[in-house]
Amino acid sequence: MKILITGAAGQIGTDMLPLLLDRGDEVVVFDLAPRPATCPDGVVWLRGDITYPEEVNTVVEQTRPERIFHLAAILSATGESIPHRAWRVNMDGTRNVFEAARLFAVTQVFFTSTIAAFGPGLAQPVGDDVPLRPTTMYGLTKVAGERLGEYYENTFGIDFRGVRFPGLINAGIPGGGTSDYALFMYVNGMRDGRYEAFCTPETKIPFMYMPDAIRAMLELSDAPKENLKRSVYNIAAISPSAQEIADAVKARLPDVVITFAPDPRRQAILDSWPQALDDSNARAEWNWAHEFDLDAMSDDLMPKVRALLGDPTIRV
Ligand code: AKB
C-alpha cells in the first residue's frame, strides 16, 4: 500500500518509517526538513511546507497515496512560544491535508491527537467523551483537527481515524513537547549523568513507549471500519509519576542525579492534562492493548539511547 506521511522527520515518523517498509508498504514523506541520515533507503522524501495548500496538493496529486498519516505538528511547549506559527502549521496544515485527500481521492487520513486536547478539572481516568477545553494552542488545534476530520468524513466520505496519544518516549531527540521531561531524564541522564526536570516529582501524566504507539496507529488504521463506533480514540499505556521515571533511570544508572525544579508555565500545562486515560473503547472495538510497562520500556530504551549518543551524525 502507498502511504504518505507528513512530518516524518519528527519523533513518531523516525521510528515508523522502517516498520512500514518492513511490512511492504510504499512510503512517501512530505516534510519541511531535509532527508535525515537515519531515513531508510526506499523512502521517497519530498520537501515542502504543509502550510502551503499548493505544495500539499502537488505531493498528493503526484504520489496518489491510499492513506495519509498526518504527523506534522508543532507540539505544546514550542507551540506556546510561537503560537501563531503553531496555528498555521497545525490548523492550516491539517486543513490542507484533508482538502488534498478530498481532491485526490485518498481513502484514509490518520490523525495524531493528544492528551493535550483535554483541559483541567476532569474526573480521572479521563474518557473519550468528555468536554474538551485545552489550555494550549497545540491542544486547541488538535481538538479542531479532530472535528475537522469528522467533518471531512461525514461530508466527503474520507475514512478518518485518529488516536489521542499520551506523552511518547523513544530513543530520539525530544520534539518540543511539555512531556519531554521524561525523555530528557533518560537522554540527559545518560549523556551528562544528571538532569534537572522542569516539573514536580509528583507530576503524573499518561506515557507510551514508541513501539506501542506505532503499533496502535497501524492496528487502528487497519481495523475493520464496521467495528469502529468513533473516529478518534483515547489510547493508554502507563501513568508513572516523574519520580517513578527518575527511579527507573536510577535503577539502571545508579550514579545519575535527577533533581526537580518546576517551571510554573510548563507545570501549569502538565497539571491541565489527564493523569490517566480510560481507553476501554479502543480495547473493546479494535483490541488495543499496550505491551510496554515502565520497566520494559526502560530496559529496551536505554541501550538505544546509548547508541544514539554514540552516533556522530546525530546531535542530541
Ligand atoms: C507534548 O508534550 O506536547 C506532546 C503531547 C503530550 O502531545 N508530547
Q: Which atom of ligand 1 is nearest to the CA of 175?
A: 8
Residue 174 has a pLDDT of 84
Residue 169 Cα distances to 2, 12, 71, 241, 297, angstroms: 27, 9, 16, 14, 9
Helices (H), the chain: 11-22, 53-63, 76-81, 83-87, 93-103, 137-156, 181-192, 210-222, 242-252, 264-272, 280-286, 294-309
The residue whose C-alpha atom lies closest to atom 6 belonging to ligand 1 is: 167
Q: How far is the CA of 148 from the centre of ligand 1 (A)?
A: 20
Do the strands 159-165 and 67-70 form a parallel or antiparallel pair, or are they unpaired? Answer: unpaired
Q: Across the chain, what does the average pLDDT equal?
A: 97
C-alpha cell at 133: 477545553
Residue 46 has a pLDDT of 98
What is the pTM for the complete model shown?
Answer: 0.97
The residue whose C-alpha atom lies closest to atom 7 belonging to ligand 1 is: 114
Residue 315 has a pLDDT of 64
The residue whose C-alpha atom lies closest to atom 1 belonging to ligand 1 is: 177
Closest CA to 51 of 81, 74, 76: 74
Q: Which atom of ligand 1 is nearest to the CA of 115?
A: 6
CATH code for 2-168+207-234? 3.40.50.720
Residue 3 has a pLDDT of 98
Q: Do 2-168+207-234 and 170-205+238-273+293-309 agree at the fold level?
A: no
Q: How far apart are CA 123 and CA 107, in angstroms?
A: 36
Please list, in sequence order, all residues whose beta carbon lies within 8 angstroms of the beta carbon of residue 171, skipping any fewer than 6 positions away: 301, 304, 305, 307, 308
Yes or no: domain 170-205+238-273+293-309 corresponds to CATH 3.90.25: yes
Which residues are part of the catalytic machinery? 138
Sign of CA dihedral 6, 153, 279, 137: positive
Which residue type does 235 have? I
pLDDT tens, residue by residue, 187-224 = 999 999 999 999 999 999 999 999 999 999 999 999 99
The residue whose C-alpha atom lies closest to atom 5 belonging to ligand 1 is: 167
C-alpha cell at 155: 461530508
Q: Which atom of ligand 1 is nearest to the CA of 142?
A: 7
Q: How far is the CA of 101 from the centre of ligand 1 (A)?
A: 26
Question: What number is the average pLDDT over the span 21-37?
Answer: 97
Please list, in sequence order, all residues whose beta carbon lies within 8 angstroms of the beta carbon of residue 126, skipping any fewer than 6 positions away: 118, 234, 274, 276, 277, 278
The residue whose grid cell reads 510554573 is: 264
Q: Which atom of ligand 1 is nearest to the CA of 136?
A: 3
Would you give the DSSP letter of residue 34?
A: P
Q: Report helix, strand or coil for 15.
A: helix
Q: How far is the CA of 270 from the centre of ligand 1 (A)?
A: 10
Q: How far is the CA of 116 from the centre of ligand 1 (A)?
A: 7
> Which residues does ligand 1 sit against, CB inside 6 Å?
75-76, 114-116, 138, 165, 167-168, 177-179
Would you give the DSSP letter of residue 91?
A: I
Question: What number is the average pLDDT over the span 14-19?
Answer: 95
Q: How far is the CA of 7 from the centre of ligand 1 (A)?
A: 15
Domain layout of the chain by residue ranges: 2-168+207-234, 170-205+238-273+293-309
Banded pLDDT at 173 (limits 50, 70, 90): confident
pLDDT tens, residue by residue, 216-268 = 999 999 999 999 999 999 999 999 999 999 999 999 999 999 999 999 999 99
Q: How far apart are CA 72 and CA 76, in angstroms?
A: 13
Q: Is the pLDDT of residue 313 over 80?
A: no
pLDDT tens, residue by residue, 71-118 = 999 999 999 999 999 999 999 999 999 999 999 999 999 999 999 999
Q: Based on the number of CB atoms within 10 Å of its own CB, is 115 exposed (0-12), middle (13-18) or buried (19 or more)?
A: buried
Q: How far is the CA of 182 from the centre of ligand 1 (A)?
A: 11
Q: Which atom of ligand 1 is nearest to the CA of 179?
A: 2
Q: How far is the CA of 177 from the centre of ligand 1 (A)?
A: 5
The residue whose C-alpha atom lies closest to atom 2 belonging to ligand 1 is: 177
The residue whose C-alpha atom lies closest to atom 4 belonging to ligand 1 is: 177
